[in-house]
Amino acid sequence: MASSVSSMAQCLSAATRTCFRRQIYAPCRALRTLSPPSSPSAQFTTTRSLSQMRSTQQQQHHQQTKLLSSRSFTTSTARPVGKTTMGQLKSRQRNGPFSWKAALLFVATGAAMVVYFRVEKARLERKRVTEMSKGVGRPKVGGPFVLKDLEGREFTAEDLKGKYSFVYFGFTHCPDICPDELDKMAAIIDNVKAASNGAEVMKPVFITCDPARDTPQVLKKYLAEFHPDIIGLTGTYQQVKQVCKAYRVYFSTPENVTAGEDYLVDHSIYFYLMDPEGDFVECVGRQDTPESATRLIMQHVNDWKREGKPLAQ
């Protein structure tokens, strides 16, 4: 009986140990089944893969950090607002949106526009007056004529075309008015040439109202005392009468006079400005100074150029 109990106790102890071993080693066998022991090269490959994964994760984390730092809603400011910036803001708030530079630019632009519109208005008015002088119902000033120049050659109205012409009627025996007006003409010639940078834009012409005494030789000597650019013209009594009539010039020269007879000639005292097409533009009277006459002439010359019309060289 005692041996039987002892034998049963030994069997129970052996069964208990076997069950315990199964409980302990069964998971270990399962792990060995799932993850068999690898070779050294496989272990190195696994280690390198893990290292690459860590490096990739670090790079992604760095990029995310950089992206977040560049966003506009970051709490850090781009640059601190200094005292100068605050002073500028206060000055801008005190002065308003306009600075003194903007005000100066505004005033300069406004002044330039006013000057431009005044000049343009004056130009259009001059053009209107010129067109009216060509219209129906108004006396036409100028026209065809045939005279002789200082060399005795034929000179017609066609020879004046291509440039502006500045025509004056007088006579060499005039005691006072003609010399004064020819002095003015000489000053105007020089002023216009200077204003045109030396260009020949105008032909100054002196037509005698006394053809009986003012021959080409007499005119040449007389006009040389005033200006070498003045073109002197004379002709027969009928030729002079025709050109005076065309220019609406009054003169009282007797038709039949004897040599040596002394007389005075009454005539109109005006300079006639004609455009390059031979049309009348303006009259310049005794009240005009050389400066005012020069301004008037150059205004018409510049208007002509501005419209793209040519001037003869």
Cα(26)–Cα(32) distance, rounded to whole angstroms? 10
DSSP state, 293? Answer: H
Helix or strand holding residue 273 (H, E): strand 271-274
Helix or strand holding residue 167 (H, E): strand 164-170
Q: Which residues contact 201 (CB under 8 A, 6 or more apart)?
A: 163, 164, 192, 301, 311
Q: Does residue 282 contact residue 273 with C-beta atoms inside 8 Å?
A: yes
Could you list the residues known to form a binding site, using ranges: 174, 178, 267
Cα(249)–Cα(107) distance, rounded to whole angstroms? 50
Could you list the residues known to form a binding site for Cu cation, using ranges: 174, 178, 267
CA end-to-end span of the chain: 159
